[in-house]
Amino acid sequence: MAERYQNYVNGAWSDASSGSVSTSTNPADLSDVIGEFQASTAGDVAAAITAAHDVKESWRRTSSLARGGYLLKAAAYLEANPEEFAQALTRECGKAILEARGEIGRAVALLQYYGVEGSNPVGSVVPSVNPEILLYTNRMPLGVVSLITPWNFPFAIPIWKMAPALVYGNTIVLKPASATPHVATLIAKMWEAVDLPAGVFNLVTGSGSAVGNELITNDKVAAISFTGSTRIGMNIAAESAKRGKRYQLEMGGKNPVIVLPDADLEQAAEITVSGAMKFSGQKCTATSRAIVVGNVMEEFTNLVVEKTNALKIGAGADPESIIVPVIDQASKDNIASMIKRGVDDGGQILAGGGVPSGADYDKGTFVEPTVINNVAADAYVACEEIFGPVLSILPAGDAENALDIANSVEYGLSAGIFTKDLNSVLDFADRIEAGVVKINGETAGLEPQVPFGGMKASSSGDREQGKAAIEFFTQTKTIYVDRSAT
């Protein structure tokens, strides 16, 4: 019988009021049931929000150094148990074990970074026109923050939201993706292990349709930080705006790389395939379009196809696997339909295009890494996010045309260029409509000490990580102190 897991509310583990559970399975082997998880209701979410609300003042009044101390203890806890978390992550979301270990390492780095932030100044003293007045600013926490996080980075994304939220004095309720609730329970156990005060962190599992509305509309919630689809994000924006709540949205991407004729084609092909195919393309920053300029199209395409065909398909537990299972059957079906539509619209499959067969794949949700060319810039497959191991190769007449193609979609998350020409680099960096710009580098892959976020439909504009996180999770208070009359 599968192990049953509970919600974590007000420092205690508890069942949902529905009495119902859902299961989580291993995408590499759907017969491998990881456990049963609470199918929470709006009432369960309301209880978690109330728990966070009841302690928000005591947590705000806790020294920021002490708040940072909890993060540093959590980082040490993870460093002492990295393989347990990495293996759990690989089993539940299918990620290659090497990438899973990297994700845990990133979580450690985030906790350490924001743990140290607890000792940094958050305000400033400003000269006043009146020399008798002390004029200064301070940063105040928002209160209760709802965190709604995706399955593709089930450890790192919750941490990069909650670490700054906590160190800046907010209390939180986490609703993880329904596909990866087990990883979220491990995060709760981490906070339990370091004795984070009850109610400061709360976890509720369940479907977005059942609990999402309460996380957004509850009067005790001050802000919502969300990573997921553009459609859901826009709904959150609308509902939050109606209620005057702060919201932070990180959403889809259709990330391009431009390959100029002077590029090192071997390097460009290697990095493009890595960005497009690792974790089976299930990253919001994954490379989705390669826009090739001039007479290097054939050579670059041949290199991409050769490198794609050499990728090993297999379960994430195998350290040699690059193409791992996609998260579930619905995702597998959607990727297949997108590939078919690309072909129907005139595209030609140069690599992959189907699903692997055999005993190693039949129990999981595997998709072949796929390369399509003859794709028009306005074709559906070239404009819409696929979230799978699919790369479209598009021709461009010159650098100007390539930039126009890159900017022609509604998304603007990450983008790259391959060239040795400094003028082309500077022009691209200035004009590309993307929040993350890579020069001769992979569109995926981010460092935690710098801001992250997109433009256009990829983001609400607020940046995550680095020093920028304080802008979302706090509000500025200006204080005038005059001398008392005598």
Task: Find the catalytic residue in 92, 214, 250, 368.
Answer: 250
Secondary structure letter of residue 197 according to DSSP: P
How many whole angstroms separate alpha carbon 3 and alpha carbon 205? 15
Residue 265 CB-half CA count within 13 A: 18
User: Tokens 């259709």, residue?
Assistant: 254
The residue among 342, 281, 277, 265 whose CA lies nearest residue 310 is 277
Q: CA separation (Å) from 90 to 5, 84, 326, 413?
A: 18, 10, 12, 26
250 is catalytic: yes
Contacts of 59 (CB under 8 A, 6+ apart): 67, 141, 169, 170, 171, 197, 200
Phi, psi of 229 (to 5 degrees): -70, 155
447 is catalytic: no
Residue 434 CB-half CA count within 13 A: 29
> DSSP 3-state assignment of 456?
strand
Contacts of 126 (CB under 8 A, 6+ apart): 135, 136, 137
How many whole angstroms separate alpha carbon 169 and alpha carbon 477? 14
Task: Find the catalytic residue in 93, 99, 284, 464.
Answer: 284
Q: CA separation (Å) from 112 to 160, 189, 328, 447?
A: 11, 18, 33, 13
Q: Which residues pair with 373 in a beta bridge?
A: 348
Q: Which residues pair with 349 in a beta bridge?
A: 372
What single-letter amino acid sits at 350? Answer: L
Query: How many helical (H) and strand (E) elements, i.e. helices and strands, does the chain have?
Result: 16, 21
Residue 41 CB-half CA count within 13 A: 7
The residues annotated with a catalytic role in the active site are 250, 284
